[in-house]
Protein backbone atom coordinates (compact mmCIF):
# COMPACT_ATOMS: atom_id res chain seq x y z
CA UNK A 1 0.00 0.00 0.00
CA UNK A 2 1.12 3.54 -0.73
CA UNK A 3 -0.81 6.38 0.92
CA UNK A 4 -3.96 4.22 1.05
CA UNK A 5 -3.74 2.93 -2.52
CA UNK A 6 -3.08 -0.69 -3.39
CA UNK A 7 -0.78 -0.37 -6.37
CA UNK A 8 -1.13 -3.80 -7.97
CA UNK A 9 -4.45 -4.69 -9.48
CA UNK A 10 -5.61 -8.26 -8.83
CA UNK A 11 -5.42 -10.65 -11.81
CA UNK A 12 -8.41 -10.53 -14.13
CA UNK A 13 -10.48 -13.46 -15.36
CA UNK A 14 -9.41 -14.89 -18.73
CA UNK A 15 -11.06 -13.30 -21.76
CA UNK A 16 -14.13 -14.99 -23.21
CA UNK A 17 -15.14 -16.49 -19.87
CA UNK A 18 -18.61 -15.61 -18.62
CA UNK A 19 -17.88 -14.66 -15.02
CA UNK A 20 -20.88 -14.97 -12.73
CA UNK A 21 -19.27 -14.49 -9.28
CA UNK A 22 -18.12 -11.27 -7.69
CA UNK A 23 -14.31 -11.18 -7.40
CA UNK A 24 -13.59 -10.30 -3.75
CA UNK A 25 -9.98 -9.24 -4.46
CA UNK A 26 -11.04 -6.80 -7.18
CA UNK A 27 -13.81 -5.46 -4.94
CA UNK A 28 -11.26 -4.87 -2.13
CA UNK A 29 -8.95 -3.11 -4.62
CA UNK A 30 -11.80 -0.85 -5.80
CA UNK A 31 -12.77 -0.07 -2.20
CA UNK A 32 -9.19 0.91 -1.34
CA UNK A 33 -9.17 3.35 -4.27
CA UNK A 34 -12.62 4.65 -3.36
CA UNK A 35 -11.44 5.41 0.20
CA UNK A 36 -8.40 7.22 -1.21
CA UNK A 37 -10.49 9.46 -3.48
CA UNK A 38 -13.28 9.80 -0.87
CA UNK A 39 -16.01 10.60 -3.39
CA UNK A 40 -19.38 8.84 -3.80
CA UNK A 41 -20.07 9.97 -7.38
CA UNK A 42 -20.59 7.00 -9.71
CA UNK A 43 -18.07 8.28 -12.28
CA UNK A 44 -15.14 7.98 -9.86
CA UNK A 45 -15.18 4.17 -9.84
CA UNK A 46 -14.74 3.65 -13.61
CA UNK A 47 -12.04 6.33 -13.65
CA UNK A 48 -9.94 4.79 -10.87
CA UNK A 49 -10.49 1.24 -12.16
CA UNK A 50 -8.42 2.01 -15.28
CA UNK A 51 -6.38 5.01 -14.11
CA UNK A 52 -8.23 7.50 -16.33
CA UNK A 53 -8.94 10.50 -14.09
CA UNK A 54 -10.23 12.74 -16.89
CA UNK A 55 -13.53 14.52 -17.35
CA UNK A 56 -16.61 12.49 -18.28
CA UNK A 57 -17.34 15.09 -20.96
CA UNK A 58 -15.08 13.03 -23.24
CA UNK A 59 -16.75 9.67 -22.58
CA UNK A 60 -18.17 7.98 -25.67
CA UNK A 61 -20.39 4.96 -26.10
CA UNK A 62 -18.71 1.63 -26.90
CA UNK A 63 -20.22 -1.82 -27.39
CA UNK A 64 -23.14 -2.89 -25.22
CA UNK A 65 -22.07 -5.17 -22.37
CA UNK A 66 -25.23 -7.19 -23.09
CA UNK A 67 -23.96 -8.04 -26.59
CA UNK A 68 -20.37 -9.09 -25.72
CA UNK A 69 -18.66 -11.02 -22.92
CA UNK A 70 -16.88 -8.11 -21.32
CA UNK A 71 -14.18 -8.95 -18.74
CA UNK A 72 -14.66 -8.01 -15.08
CA UNK A 73 -13.04 -4.71 -14.16
CA UNK A 74 -14.15 -3.02 -17.39
CA UNK A 75 -15.74 0.43 -16.90
CA UNK A 76 -19.30 0.68 -18.20
CA UNK A 77 -21.94 3.41 -18.27
CA UNK A 78 -25.33 4.26 -19.65
CA UNK A 79 -25.25 6.53 -22.68
CA UNK A 80 -28.68 8.07 -22.71
CA UNK A 81 -29.93 11.61 -23.08
CA UNK A 82 -32.08 13.05 -20.32
CA UNK A 83 -35.25 11.68 -21.93
CA UNK A 84 -33.85 8.13 -21.93
CA UNK A 85 -32.94 7.92 -25.62
CA UNK A 86 -29.68 6.30 -26.75
CA UNK A 87 -26.77 8.69 -27.26
CA UNK A 88 -23.15 8.29 -28.30
CA UNK A 89 -22.05 10.66 -25.49
CA UNK A 90 -22.26 10.59 -21.69
CA UNK A 91 -25.42 12.37 -20.48
CA UNK A 92 -26.43 12.89 -24.11
CA UNK A 93 -23.63 15.47 -24.42
CA UNK A 94 -25.72 17.84 -22.28
CA UNK A 95 -23.58 17.90 -19.17
CA UNK A 96 -21.79 15.81 -16.60
CA UNK A 97 -24.74 13.74 -15.39
CA UNK A 98 -27.54 14.43 -12.97
CA UNK A 99 -27.85 12.31 -9.85
CA UNK A 100 -31.21 10.56 -9.57
CA UNK A 101 -32.50 11.27 -13.10
CA UNK A 102 -32.49 7.58 -14.07
CA UNK A 103 -30.54 8.12 -17.29
CA UNK A 104 -26.89 8.56 -16.21
CA UNK A 105 -24.96 5.96 -14.25
CA UNK A 106 -21.62 4.23 -14.44
CA UNK A 107 -19.78 1.44 -12.69
CA UNK A 108 -17.30 -1.37 -13.13
CA UNK A 109 -18.46 -4.64 -14.62
CA UNK A 110 -18.22 -7.48 -12.09
CA UNK A 111 -19.71 -10.25 -14.24
CA UNK A 112 -23.00 -11.53 -15.59
CA UNK A 113 -26.21 -12.89 -14.10
CA UNK A 114 -26.98 -16.32 -15.58
CA UNK A 115 -30.22 -18.30 -15.73
CA UNK A 116 -30.42 -22.00 -14.80
CA UNK A 117 -29.34 -23.00 -18.34
CA UNK A 118 -26.31 -20.67 -18.35
CA UNK A 119 -27.90 -17.95 -20.48
CA UNK A 120 -26.92 -14.36 -19.71
CA UNK A 121 -29.88 -12.45 -18.24
CA UNK A 122 -28.23 -9.45 -16.58
CA UNK A 123 -25.12 -7.56 -15.52
CA UNK A 124 -23.37 -7.50 -12.18
CA UNK A 125 -21.76 -4.16 -11.37
CA UNK A 126 -19.69 -2.55 -8.69
CA UNK A 127 -20.98 0.97 -8.23
CA UNK A 128 -20.94 4.11 -6.12
CA UNK A 129 -23.66 6.64 -5.45
CA UNK A 130 -23.99 9.57 -3.05
CA UNK A 131 -24.22 8.36 0.54
CA UNK A 132 -23.27 4.72 -0.13
CA UNK A 133 -20.07 4.82 1.93
CA UNK A 134 -18.32 2.01 0.02
CA UNK A 135 -18.31 0.18 -3.30
CA UNK A 136 -21.65 -1.62 -3.69
CA UNK A 137 -22.61 -4.71 -5.65
CA UNK A 138 -25.72 -4.56 -7.78
CA UNK A 139 -27.43 -6.68 -10.40
CA UNK A 140 -29.05 -5.04 -13.42
CA UNK A 141 -31.36 -7.43 -15.30
CA UNK A 142 -31.83 -7.29 -19.05
CA UNK A 143 -35.44 -6.18 -18.80
CA UNK A 144 -36.80 -3.85 -21.46
CA UNK A 145 -39.72 -2.88 -19.22
CA UNK A 146 -37.25 -1.06 -16.95
CA UNK A 147 -36.31 2.55 -17.72
CA UNK A 148 -32.81 3.94 -18.16
CA UNK A 149 -30.18 2.92 -15.66
CA UNK A 150 -32.35 0.09 -14.24
CA UNK A 151 -32.08 -1.95 -17.48
CA UNK A 152 -28.78 -3.81 -17.87
CA UNK A 153 -29.08 -3.57 -21.67
CA UNK A 154 -28.32 0.15 -21.44
CA UNK A 155 -24.78 -0.30 -20.10
CA UNK A 156 -21.96 0.09 -22.61
CA UNK A 157 -18.19 -0.02 -22.48
CA UNK A 158 -16.74 3.47 -22.03
CA UNK A 159 -14.54 4.89 -24.78
CA UNK A 160 -12.34 7.98 -24.96
CA UNK A 161 -13.16 10.80 -27.40
CA UNK A 162 -10.86 9.22 -29.99
CA UNK A 163 -12.67 5.84 -29.83
CA UNK A 164 -10.08 3.99 -27.73
CA UNK A 165 -11.11 2.14 -24.57
CA UNK A 166 -11.14 4.30 -21.45
CA UNK A 167 -7.78 3.73 -19.75
CA UNK A 168 -6.18 2.11 -22.81
CA UNK A 169 -3.96 -0.80 -21.80
CA UNK A 170 -5.14 -0.53 -18.18
CA UNK A 171 -8.65 -1.53 -19.31
CA UNK A 172 -9.28 -5.30 -18.97
CA UNK A 173 -11.10 -5.25 -22.34
CA UNK A 174 -7.95 -3.99 -24.09
CA UNK A 175 -7.03 -6.40 -26.88
CA UNK A 176 -10.40 -8.17 -26.59
CA UNK A 177 -12.97 -5.63 -27.77
CA UNK A 178 -12.76 -3.59 -30.96
- Spell out the residues 6+ positions from residue 11 whose beta carbon is closer than 8 angstroms to its own: none
User: Minimum mean pLDDT among 53-57, 116-120, 129-133: which range?
Assistant: 129-133
Confidence of residue 153 (pLDDT cuts 50, 70, 90): very high
Each residue of 90-124: pLDDT tens digit?
998 887 777 778 899 999 999 999 999 989 999 99
CB 16 within 8 A of CB 130: no
Does pLDDT of 155 surpass 80? yes
Distance (Å, whole) CA 166 – CA 178: 12
Each residue of 67-78: pLDDT tens digit?
999 999 999 999
Give the Cα-Cα-Cα angle 145, 77, 153 (nearest 5 degrees). 30
Nearest to 157 by CA among 65, 86, 90, 53: 65
Amino acid sequence: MDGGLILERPPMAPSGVCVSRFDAALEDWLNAHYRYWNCDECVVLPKVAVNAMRTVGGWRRGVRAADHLVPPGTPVATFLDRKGRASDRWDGGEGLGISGNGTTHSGVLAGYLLDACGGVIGLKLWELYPGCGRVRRRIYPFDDTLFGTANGRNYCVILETDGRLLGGRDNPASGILP
